[in-house]
Each structure stands twice: as structure tokens, then as C-alpha cells.
Amino acid sequence: MFSTFIRRPVLSLVVSIIITLQGLIALRRLPMELFPSVAPPEVNVTVEYTGANAETVTRAAIVPLERAINGVPGMKYMSSDAGNDGVGVVQILFETGTDPDVAAINVQNRVNAVMGQLPSEVIRNGVKIAKEENAMLMYLSIFSSNPDHDEKFLYNFADINVLAELKRINGVGYADVLGAKEYAMRIWLKPDKMRAYRVSTDDVMAALEAFNVEASPGKIGENSDKGDGPLQYTLQYTGKFNTQAEYERLPIRASANGDILRISDVADVEFGTTYFDVEAKYNGRPTASIMLKQLPGSNASEVIAAVKERLKTLKTEAFMPGMDYEFSFDVSRFLDASVHEVLKTCVEAFLLVALVVFLFLQDWRSTLIPIIAVPVSLIGTLFFIQLLGFSLNLITLFALVLAIGIAVDDAIVVV
């Protein structure tokens, strides 16, 4: 084979051009990420049992889920965790090579089989099943110079106006605002007043479930197609309450003489957030912190560029006066530095090869051969990187830097 390439230089040139073109095409298609995906696929099942402690969450929700999920195809092991905030998580890790989409579907089918065994509160809040990506892509902070924009306002603004836009960007696998600061009406019960009026927590919960609902009252005056009927009206119910005063006026019970016991008599009603155990700050200011994770197989640099472009548009169209954003963490900084080092090493290698070969051989033709051979071999490597399913990350780029030295040595020896 070697003698064939020596006797036919045109064939050698054509093969080198084909290898280079294949490498350049692969370069545009290769996914780029910070680290290779070496961790096994992971699926998390999250439940929320409002008001329950860790032991109750474990007995009522975690144990039935573990029994149902145990033995799902491809499972390596699983672990669970529950907190006194009523949130429980079942973490399932699968064998390396398992398709994460198939794993999530299998877990979903197992969970659906035991949904009837879970408490009604858990079913109402929803059982969340999600594929977990461990590599963080970006960390975004949204803050404001307006003192009226507190942390809960920024959280809900980001959740409504920013998060939905970021999730639609191609290549974003996970996007969420850290913490749980959704607007919520908090009812702080007074045990002494409840004891005096002989009211239990279940009575308050029953009143909330009975009155704070979305209902369809129906229609009046509907014509049965028999003659001319009266005017038809569609009744409209007020729906769920939205203000603090409406919750305070909500009746718990009424006595025989017409006295009405309301929630404001046994509790303080406050417009707050779902939870308040997590706080985010940026340079001492309240902020909404958004974490983004990359979809497997996507190009990190392209995804980050799309996110930045979308945020520029949102800043002019959706952001309120005084609001701004900042990237606290950006993977592209490391990737750009790594690519820069690879290019820098290539240029240094070409200059050193040309200098060494020309000084010792005193021939421009012999100098040109290794200068061409090194980039052909390196660019052609990109085609095989794509063929083997690898990506451009810190590990593969570091390997290319090391391979440059081997390619330089081989080129000089061949000459």
C-alpha cells in the first residue's frame, strides 16, 4: 500500500483532500460540551406532600414508588430522600449506555401503576418525572435596581417571562429558577383562637376546598327547541380567590343565630410565596437565579449563543425599567479557551517544524511536506471523533494537543 502512494502522488493528494474535507464537515457537526457524558443516565421522581414531615412523605409516597419502580429495565440502583418541607425525591440510576428517553418512559409507566395508592394531596400537586443532566451549561442572574422589585417578584417575573422562552431554545435540556418562590397565599393558624372556637386544621382545609374552587354553574333559560324560549344566560362563577381580603372573609362555619366564623378569626392571611427557605443574591441585591443544562448531543457554544441572543431580545421587549441580567457561570469561556490553546499549539508546531526541517535539510520541498501532513492528520481526526460518537470537550481537545507533538515527530521522521 505504501509503494502505491509513493508511485502515485496524485492519489495521495486526492486522499489527503478527502480526509481534510471530511474532517471540516465533521467539525461543523460535532457536539461541543464541557466534559464528556461519562455518568450513567439518571431519572428523578419528585413528589410534594404539602405540610407533611419527612417520615410521612416516606411512608405515604416514597415507599410505594420505590416498590413500583424497583426492577425497571436497565436499573443499576436507586436511592431516595425526603425532607420536612414535604418534598421527596426518588433517584434512579441506569446502566451506562441505556437510552435516557426509554428509561424515563419505563419509570413513568411504573409510577402510573401506583398513582392510586398515593395521597390525594400528592396527586393534586403532581408527580414529576425528569431526566437529570449533571453538566451545568450556564448560571443566569436576573436582578433589578428598583427597590420595589424584591426576590419573590423577580422569581415570578423570571418564571413567567424568561423561563418559558429559554426552554424553547434548541439544545436546552433543563432550565429552572432555583428555589420555590411562586406567589402563594399563606394562612398562619392561631392555635389559641382555634382552641377557643373549637376549630381544627381539617375544618380550615375543608373550608378552603369547598369555597376556593373553579366551578361551572351552567346555563339558565336554555331553549329546548319547542317554541320560542326565554333568553339564555351562561352563569359565571367567581372562581378561585385572588386577594388577601377574599381569603380572610372565607367562612368556616355558621351558628344557629347567624354568626359566621371566618378564617380571619382564627388565622392571619399573608400574600407570600410557596417556600421561603432559599434566597439568592447577586452583589448583595435580590436576584432570580436560573440554571441551564445542556441537551445531550447539542453544541454548547451554539446553545449559549442562542441563549444570549434571546436574552438581548427579552431585555428590550419584556424587562421592566431597572432590570438587568448577568451570567455568573458560562461554559463557553472554558471551551473558547481550550479551542484557543489547540489553535495556538498548532501554529507553534507548524513554525517549529518548518524551522527545524529547513535548518537541517536546507530544502523547501522537504519543509512543505510536514507542514501539510500535520494539519491533514489533525483535521482528519475530527471525522473519526464524530464516527466514534465522541464530542469536542476538554478531554478530547487536550488529547488533540498531545497528538500534535506525535504528528510533528512522525512528519519529521518520514521526511
For residue 328, being part of any structural domain is answered with no
Does this model's pTM top 0.75? My answer is no
Q: Is the same domain home to 91 and 47?
A: yes
Q: Is the domain of 104 the same as that of 58?
A: yes
Tell me, yes or no, whether 116 lies in a domain: yes
Question: Which whole number is the average pLDDT over 295-300?
Answer: 72
Q: What is the pLDDT of residue 66?
A: 92
User: Which of 30-34, 354-358, 384-388 comes out lowest in average pLDDT?
Assistant: 30-34
pLDDT digits (tens, 9 = 90+) for 262-275: 888 899 988 877 77
The region, left, alpha or beta by phi > 0 then psi within -120 to 50, assigned to residue 305 is alpha
Q: How far apart are CA 23 and CA 42, in angstroms?
A: 33
What cell was used for 299?
453544541
- Based on the fold, state whether residues 30 and 81 are members of the same structural domain: no
Lowest mean pLDDT among 147-151, 152-156, 197-201, 234-238: 234-238
User: Looking at residue 380, which CATH number applies to its domain?
Assistant: 1.20.1640.10
CB 326 within 8 A of CB 141: yes
Cell (9 digits) for 415: 521526511
126 in the same domain as 196: no
Q: pLDDT for 40-67, tens place per residue?
A: 788 889 898 877 888 889 988 999 999 9
Question: Is residue 166 pLDDT above 70, yes or no?
Answer: yes
Let me know: does 270 contact 244? Beta carbons within 8 Å: yes
The angle that helices 9-29 and 364-387 make with each other, rounded to 10 degrees, is: 40
Q: What percent of the chain has pLDDT over 90?
A: 5
Alpha-carbon distance 44 to 80, whole Å?
Answer: 9
Check which CATH number belongs to the domain holding 99 and give it.
3.30.70.1430
In this structure, what is the dihedral angle of CA atoms 101, 103, 109, 115, given to the nearest 10 degrees? -100
Q: Are residues 51 and 108 in the same domain?
A: yes
What's the chain's length in residues?
Answer: 415
Same domain for 251 and 196, yes or no, is: yes
pLDDT at 90: 92
If pLDDT is split at 50, 70 and 90, which confidence band does 297 have?
A: low
If asked whether residues 28 and 46 sit together in one domain, one would say no
Domain shared by 22 and 71, yes or no: no
The CATH number for 267's domain is 3.30.2090.10
One-letter-per-residue 3-state SS of the chain: CHHHHHHCHHHHHHHHHHHHHHHHHHHHHCCECCCCCCCCCEEEEEEECCCCCHHHHHHHHHHHHHHHHCCCCCEEEEEEEECCCCEEEEEEEECCCCCHHHHHHHHHHHHHHCHHHCCHHHHHHCCEEEECCCCEEEEEEEEECCCCCCHHHHHHHHHHHHHHHHHCCCCEEEEEECCCCCEEEEEEECHHHHHHHCCCHHHHHHHHHHHCCCCCCCEECCCCCCCCCCCCEECCCCCCCCCHHHHHCCEEEECCCCCEEEHHHHEEEEEEECCCCCCCEECCEEEEEEEEEECCCCCHHHHHHHHHHHHHHHHHHCCCCCEEEEEEEEHHHHHHHHHHHHHHHHHHHHHHHHHHHHHHHCCHHHHHHHHHHHHHHHHHHHHHHHHCCCCECHHHHHHHHHHHHHHHHHHHHHC
Domain that holds residue 249: 184-218+233-273
Query: Per the domain annotation, does 294 fall within a domain?
Result: no
Instruction: Give a yes or no: residue 319 inside a domain.
Output: no
Strand partners of residue 47: 88
For residue 65, what pLDDT is reported? 92
Residues 26 and 44 in one domain: no
Residues 26 and 90 placed together within one structural domain of the fold: no
CB 250 within 8 A of CB 208: yes
177 in any annotated domain: no
47 with 123, same domain: the answer is yes
Only one residue has cell 362555619, namely: 253
Task: Say which amino acid occupies 204.
Answer: V
Pair 80, 46: CB distance under 8 Å: no
| One domain, residues 119 and 93 | yes
Q: Stretch 187-191: mean pLDDT, rounded?
A: 89
One-letter amino acid of 255 = S
CA distance 54 to 240: 30
Q: Is residue 148 part of a domain?
A: no
Structural domains of the chain, count:
3
Q: Does some domain include residue 291?
A: no
Among residues 139, 134, 400, 172, the alpha carbon closest in space to that of 299 is found at 172
CB under 8 Å to 372, separation ≥6 — which residues?
A: 16
Residue 397 falls inside a structural domain: yes
Choose one of 133, 157, 192: the last residue of a domain: 133
